[in-house]
Amino acid sequence: MEESESASDKPRPWQSYHTVYTNAKAGMDGVDKEKVQRVVYEMSKGSKYFENEERKEAFIRQKIEHMRARAAKLSAADLSHYQKVADKRILELESTRDLSRIWLHVDMDAFYAAVETLSNPSLKGKPMAVGSMSMISTANYEARKFGVRAAMPGFIARKLCPDLIFVPTDFKKYTYYSDLTRKVFWDYDPNFMAASLDEAYLDITKVCEGRSITGAEIAEELRSRVHEETGLTCSAGVAPNRLLAKVCSDINKPNGQFVLPNDHMAVMTFISSLPIRKIGGIGKVTENILKGVFGISTCEEMLQKGSFLCALFSHSSADFFLSVGLGLGGTDTPEARFRKSISSERTFSATEDAALLYQKLEMLSADMQKEGLSGRTLTLKLKTASFEVRTRAVTLQKYISSSDDILKHASNLLKAELPISLRLIGLRVSHFNEDKGVVPGDPTQKTLTTFLISGDASRRTGDDQRSLGSDLSDLHFISEKETAISLDNNETCHHEFGDPFERKHLSDIDDKNCISSINACEMEKIDELSSNKTAAMVNTADVKERTTKSPKRDLSRVSEDDSSIQREPEDSNPDRLNKEPSTSGNEEFFSLNQMEMLFWVDGYKCSLCGAELPSSFVEERQEHSDFHLAERLQKEESGTGSSSLIPRLRIVPKDYSGSQNRRKKHKSAHLPIDSFFTKKSSRQL
């Protein structure tokens, strides 16, 4: 007894070591979290990764102290004032509540792992992970019982579960199955929003009304149809808005569903005990700060601490937090969005009859003319028979408004795609004559991409953009594919979207003082949007890469001018705390320059190691960036060309074709992502 007491008295430093790996995913409820923490701690201690994690933790602590001090300085009068501000804001937000829509969020169960098991049934029932020793993309539910989860380095996973079977990723296979699921989603909401390969949001209001059937029944039916079509299971959440639907789909995973009725009381009860971390966009950092400074653990407590939140955070941040406390989220339909552009699209039975396709274009051009606006950027959106969304844009020297002009340029864009079988064509004219630039604060005008998402796999609204949430959170709506618009043009739209609120707000959380590394969002933003130097490099690389794949690509470009439209000036990461370069001497850890070679090829492949990490996994991407950051530091410390860091276990996706140039370019800087775990002493592998 005494002995066990003294054992438990021993310091357990891993207890405060929280990484993304220790954050439970579905199927990990019964996991011995402390054991996972200890393994991760022990396997990384002494490495640069560890140092970086510690540094981040230190910044969070510092931030918490700083905010606590600010909170302590608030006088009674201040607090009473901010209470009034919060009360007013809560009322205003409450008045926006829309309980008229029924949203369904569907998410495949252990998606990559399930697909692999389908093609190799001998894996059934055995703990397995898809990925490599460097990083695993996902683990099946058997492996999760050991604490193995997505984004975890494989060598840590193997330590947790020695019998773990590793299967390499096969993105093409996942895309194939994803397409099958989307065909089912299409039947319930042709405008469904695909958030990633394995998840989507569907507005099922109409189908429920039309068939006099409940959301729960639709969810059951949809899930069983997905199973019929694919042999895979999925889980669903049904709720009055997207933010809540996403939370709900995770509740009864795997192969389950949860319905939150469109009822004010039900929503408030649901939200009252919901841990804030369940909300898309609230990641580790935001969670720690809200908890550490204000003692906020549940969504409801956001409302109780409204005065502090209003006093210490910007409007948008406070709004986001209060909205979470009210259980509000995006409910709108695509038509309501994007007022700074005109767009029109037609869906039809899939056809590859070019004459018919041109005819659709003609009709759309006429629609555009009716609006009487002239614009310089014309974007063509295509949805192929297999639901792949492509976008092609061109920015012209002069403004156009006549249907003839629109048709002429749109036809050029379409021509380059032929032959093609399409089920949807959309046209958008933007960059209007009266646009003197992006209207600050007008979320509908943020990006050209914004539009493209409308009505399709990704719709975003101002409302949605206000979210922090990563998958609904962080990046919402910045799609991997939206990249498409100017660069890519050849992708399926998986954007996430995110959620209901934009993430600008957390700018005050991070306050320039905090932490961490380059985050994934930042990288992604760079990848797809901006016109900064790094992006320029990325764009060039991407264009080159794609030229080899598709000679047509050059037809779809967005001029420099247009790229200003695309720029997303605000941070797209809710957990921005994780991102700002510090002003306190940590620039070498976190500066963009250091990591400028990391970006996401085609929106999901790490340019440094080829690991595939869809953009909706904001936190995981951030961790991944941290890996590379640490590996770089490790390398610098050991001197270039150190033999201890010779690449091993490098992952290069099979379909990483056309990227030779880039690979060469980064070869010297390239190291396997597990090398950052290299310790000064011997590796524990």
Coil/strand/helix, residue 305: coil
108 near ligand TTP, judged by CB under 6 A: yes
Sketch the per residue contact string, 536 through 555, with ligand TTP: x for CB under 6 A, - otherwise: --------------------
620 near Mg ion, judged by CB under 5 A: no
Q: Which is nearer to Mg ion, 105 or 284 (CB)?
A: 105
Classify residue 514 as exposed, middle or buried by CB count within 10 Å of its CB (0-12, 13-18, 19+). Answer: buried
Distance CA 501, CA 666 (A): 36
User: Mind giving me the DSSP string for 463-527?
Assistant: HHHT---TTTSSSTT-BTTGGGGTT--S----B----SS-SGGGHHHHTTT------HHHHHHHH
First to last CA, the chain: 34
198 near ligand TTP, judged by CB under 6 A: yes
Q: Which is nearer to Mg ion, 198 or 345 (CB)?
A: 198
Task: Specify the DSSP class assigned to residue 577.
Answer: G
Q: Which is nearer to Mg ion, 111 or 627 (CB)?
A: 111
Closest-CA residue to 167 (of 109, 124, 196): 124
The item of Mg ion, ligand TTP, none sharing an interface with residue 137, based on CB under 5 to 8 Å by kind, is ligand TTP
CA atoms within 13 A on the CB side of 365: 20
Distance CA 354, CA 351 (A): 8
In the region spanning residues 592 to 651, those forming contacts with ligand TTP, defined by CB under 6 A, are 612-614, 617, 620
In the region spanning residues 216 to 275, those forming contacts with ligand TTP, defined by CB under 6 A, are 253-254
Q: Which is nearer to ligand TTP, 236 or 368 (CB)?
A: 236
Q: List phi, psi (to 5°) of 363.
A: -60, -40
- Closest approach, Cβ 253 to ligand TTP, in A, equals 5
- Closest approach, Cβ 469 to ligand TTP, in A, equals 14
Distance CA 461, CA 445 (A): 10
Distance CA 155, CA 161 (A): 10
Sketch the per residue contact string, 466 through 485, with ligand TTP: x for CB under 6 A, - otherwise: --------------------
- Closest approach, Cβ 151 to Mg ion, in A, equals 13
Coil/strand/helix, residue 196: strand
137 near ligand TTP, judged by CB under 6 A: yes
The item of ligand TTP, Mg ion, none sharing an interface with residue 499, based on CB under 5 to 8 Å by kind, is none
150 near Mg ion, judged by CB under 5 A: no
- Closest approach, Cβ 349 to Mg ion, in A, equals 31
107 near ligand TTP, judged by CB under 6 A: yes
Query: Given the structure tokens 């400074």, which residue do they identify?
Result: 293
Instruction: Give the count of residues interacting with Mg ion (CB under 5 A).
Output: 4
Q: Which is nearer to ligand TTP, 170 or 388 (CB)?
A: 170
In the structure encoding, which two tokens stand for residue 617, read together? 């996994």
- Closest approach, Cβ 139 to Mg ion, in A, equals 12
Which position among 43, 67, 108, 232 is part of the footprint of Mg ion (CB under 5 A)?
A: 108
Coil/strand/helix, residue 349: strand
- Nearby residues of 678 by Cβ (< 8 Å), 6 or more positions away: 47, 634, 644, 645
Q: List phi, psi (to 5°) of 56.
A: -65, -45
In the region spanning residues 195 to 214, those forming contacts with Mg ion, defined by CB under 5 A, are 198
Judged by CB under 6 A, the stretch of 103-111, 283-291, 308-316, 459-467 that binds ligand TTP is 103-111
**CB-CB contact of 530 with 486 (8 Å):** no
111 near Mg ion, judged by CB under 5 A: yes
Which position among 14, 23, 26, 364 is part of the footprint of ligand TTP (CB under 6 A)?
A: 26
400 membership: H or E segment, kind and range: strand 389-400
Coil/strand/helix, residue 623: helix
**One-letter amino acid identity for 445?**
Q
Judged by CB under 6 A, the stretch of 59-67, 106-114, 381-389, 662-670 that binds ligand TTP is 106-114
Instruction: Give the count of residues interacting with ligand TTP (CB under 6 A).
Output: 21
Cis peptide upstream of residue 419 (ω within 30 degrees of 0): yes
The item of ligand TTP, Mg ion, none sharing an interface with residue 462, based on CB under 5 to 8 Å by kind, is none
The item of Mg ion, ligand TTP, none sharing an interface with residue 254, based on CB under 5 to 8 Å by kind, is ligand TTP
Q: Which is nearer to ligand TTP, 136 or 364 (CB)?
A: 136
**CB-CB contact of 343 with 428 (8 Å):** yes
In the structure encoding, which two tokens stand for residue 674, read together? 């597990």
- Closest approach, Cβ 232 to Mg ion, in A, equals 10
Based on the residue annotation, tell me whether 228 is a catalytic residue of this protein: no
Distance CA 331, CA 100 (A): 9
Pairing of the two strands 234-239 and 257-259: parallel
Q: List phi, psi (to 5°) of 31.
A: -70, 145
The item of Mg ion, ligand TTP, none sharing an interface with residue 620, based on CB under 5 to 8 Å by kind, is ligand TTP
Q: Which is nearer to ligand TTP, 375 or 614 (CB)?
A: 614
150 near ligand TTP, judged by CB under 6 A: yes
Which position among 43, 110, 289, 608 is part of the footprint of ligand TTP (CB under 6 A)?
A: 110
Q: List phi, psi (to 5°) of 194.
A: -85, 125
- Closest approach, Cβ 172 to Mg ion, in A, equals 18
- Closest approach, Cβ 25 to ligand TTP, in A, equals 5
- Closest approach, Cβ 655 to ligand TTP, in A, equals 15
Q: Which is nearer to ligand TTP, 357 or 613 (CB)?
A: 613
The item of Mg ion, ligand TTP, none sharing an interface with residue 617, based on CB under 5 to 8 Å by kind, is ligand TTP
Which position among 86, 102, 143, 151 is part of the footprint of ligand TTP (CB under 6 A)?
A: 151
**CB-CB contact of 384 with 422 (8 Å):** yes
Task: Specify the DSSP class assigned to residue 614.
Answer: -
Q: Which is nearer to ligand TTP, 149 or 305 (CB)?
A: 149
In the structure encoding, which two tokens stand for residue 416, read together? 């380059």
**CB-CB contact of 495 with 477 (8 Å):** yes
- Closest approach, Cβ 198 to ligand TTP, in A, equals 4
Q: Which of 57, 199, 417, 568 is catalytic?
A: 199
182 near ligand TTP, judged by CB under 6 A: no
Distance CA 103, CA 170 (A): 31
Task: Specify the DSSP class assigned to residue 394.
Answer: E
Which position among 107, 464, 571, 631 is part of the footprint of Mg ion (CB under 5 A)?
A: 107
Judged by CB under 6 A, the stretch of 98-106, 109-117, 273-281, 476-484 that binds ligand TTP is 109-117
CB atoms within 10 A of CB 118: 15
- Closest approach, Cβ 107 to Mg ion, in A, equals 4
Applying CB under 6 A, the residues found at the interface with ligand TTP are 25-26, 107-112, 137-138, 150-151, 198-199, 253-254, 612-614, 617, 620
Applying CB under 5 A, the residues found at the interface with Mg ion are 107-108, 111, 198
Q: Known catalytic residues? A: 199
